[in-house]
């Protein structure tokens, strides 16, 4: 009976993959943003490919190494949760809450909430807007070491999910199968700094540990080597990087991502812009360039995606941007979202 059940799940999963997209795939740009706890294993594992592996002899300082998201044993009321931004907004049809290899430490139950918010929302917006969350999967029993499959009946698009587990424990992977959609309010936004949209890193103060071109690559950084990182600054001043945008635009939202940078992230950053359509990598460094402040100096956190929109100043359209980091450190990605100037 178990063999037949496993075969059915395998067949259904393959069929689902052929017709629907995994909206929560790390490869498609999904991101685990916040979690109530991740003591034993990080939330990012939820979105990785495959079903995870088990290495019997592998331990960490926190205990047994597990290839998934695992929280500590809860000694108080409540439950654990993880908030995920989908790779693309979409209509969700099926969920796979996979407890592969989690046997004595899997959650007894799970539920899933979803909401539609501006795609790049601040962490405060995700935790404060309790009324915007809609329950798409009621509290449901889970089985250990299994793919737990659920059909979803909501015919509307969502941007973010909240996986709730009761009371605690570990989940190997979360697959969210559905149809990709696009938010009308953001469909004409583009990342003006992205290399794939014509952006270029022209100059920087230093790139001892990580090349400046990494900061405008597509997708999320694989590790620290896949970002821009400067050497430790031993004197006064700060480090900087100048980008040429793929197209002139007015920045409406800026994302500064310190993913993977934990003991070596910058303390703070600021961003300036200028309109110099004929500038090159040499002339952009001259003193006569009129730089305008777009983002005032803001504190940064380690291993975090920072969203700035209300902090931005009305600077008009720009052709180039200068990212200042204080005093030094690493940034994995910089996104400059705006609309083309017509």
Has residue 94 got a pLDDT over 50? yes
Under CATH, to which class is 2-182 assigned? mainly beta
Worst-scoring range by mean pLDDT, 2-11, 100-109, 157-166, 204-213?
2-11
Q: Distance (Å, rounded) from C-alpha 286 to C-alpha 279?
A: 10
2-182 matches 190-340 in fold: yes
Cβ neighbourhood burial of 287 (10 Å; 0-12, 13-18, 19+): exposed
Q: How high is the pLDDT of residue 8?
A: 43
- Give me the mean pLDDT over the 172-194 stretch: 81
The CA–CA distances, whole Å, from 212 to 195, 199, 241, 277 equal 12, 12, 7, 21
Q: How high is the pLDDT of residue 10?
A: 53
Q: Distance (Å, rounded) from C-alpha 227 to C-alpha 178?
A: 31
Taking only the tens place, the pLDDT of each residue in 6-35 is 444 454 555 555 689 999 999 888 999 999
169's tokens: 């424990």
The CA–CA distances, whole Å, from 102 to 39, 108, 137, 138 equal 15, 11, 21, 22
292's tokens: 């305008």
The CA–CA distances, whole Å, from 149 to 96, 156, 160 equal 5, 20, 19
Taking only the tens place, the pLDDT of each residue in 251-302 is 999 999 999 999 999 999 999 999 999 999 999 999 889 999 999 999 999 9
The domains of the chain are located at 2-182, 190-340
Average pLDDT in the chain: 90
Pairing of the two strands 157-166 and 80-98? antiparallel
Residues 6+ apart with CB under 8 A from 194: 216, 218, 246, 335
Whether the model clears a pTM of 0.85, i.e. scores above it, the answer is no
DSSP E strands, 36-172: 59-60, 63-64, 69-70, 80-98, 109-115, 134-141, 147-151, 157-166, 170-171
Q: Distance (Å, rounded) from C-alpha 20 to C-alpha 259?
A: 29
Domain 190-340 CATH superfamily:
Galactose-binding domain-like (2.60.120.260)
Cβ neighbourhood burial of 191 (10 Å; 0-12, 13-18, 19+): buried
């Amino acid at each position: 009976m178990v063999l037949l059940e496993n075969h059915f799940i395998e067949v259904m999963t393959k069929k689902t993959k052929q017709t629907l997209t995994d909206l929560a795939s790390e490869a498609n740009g999904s991101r685990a943003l916040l979690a109530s706890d991740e003591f034993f294993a990080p939330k990012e594992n939820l979105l990785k490919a495959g079903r995870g592996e088990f290495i019997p002899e592998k331990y960490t300082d926190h205990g047994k190494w597990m290839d998934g998201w695992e929280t500590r044993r809860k000694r108080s009321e409540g439950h654990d949760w993880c908030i995920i931004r989908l790779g693309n907004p979409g209509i969700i049809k099926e969920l796979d809450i996979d407890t592969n290899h989690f046997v004595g430490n899997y959650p007894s139950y799970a539920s899933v909430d979803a909401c539609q918010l501006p795609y790049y929302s601040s962490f405060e917006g995700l935790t404060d807007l309790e009324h915007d969350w809609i329950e798409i999967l009621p509290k449901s029993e889970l089985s250990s070491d299994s793919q737990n499959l659920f059909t979803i009946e909501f015919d509307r698009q969502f941007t973010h999910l909240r996986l709730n587990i009761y009371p605690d424990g570990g989940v190997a992977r979360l697959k969210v199968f559905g149809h990709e959609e696009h938010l009308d309010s953001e469909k004409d936004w583009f990342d003006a700094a992205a290399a794939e949209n014509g952006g270029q890193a022209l100059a920087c103060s230093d790139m001892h540990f990580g090349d400046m071109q990494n900061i405008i690559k597509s997708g999320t950084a694989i590790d620290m080597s896949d970002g821009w990182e400067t050497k430790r600054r031993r004197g006064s001043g700060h480090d900087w990087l100048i980008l040429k945008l793929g197209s002139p635009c007015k920045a409406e939202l800026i994302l500064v991502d310190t993913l993977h940078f934990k003991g070596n992230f910058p303390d703070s950053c600021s961003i300036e812009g200028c309109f110099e359509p004929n500038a090159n990598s040499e002339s952009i460094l001259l003193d006569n360039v009129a730089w305008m402040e777009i983002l005032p100096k803001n504190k940064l956190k380690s291993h975090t995606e920072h969203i700035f929109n209300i902090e931005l100043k009305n600077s008009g359209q720009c052709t180039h941007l200068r990212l200042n980091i204080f005093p030094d450190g690493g940034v994995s990605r910089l996104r400059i979202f705006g609309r083309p100037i017509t």
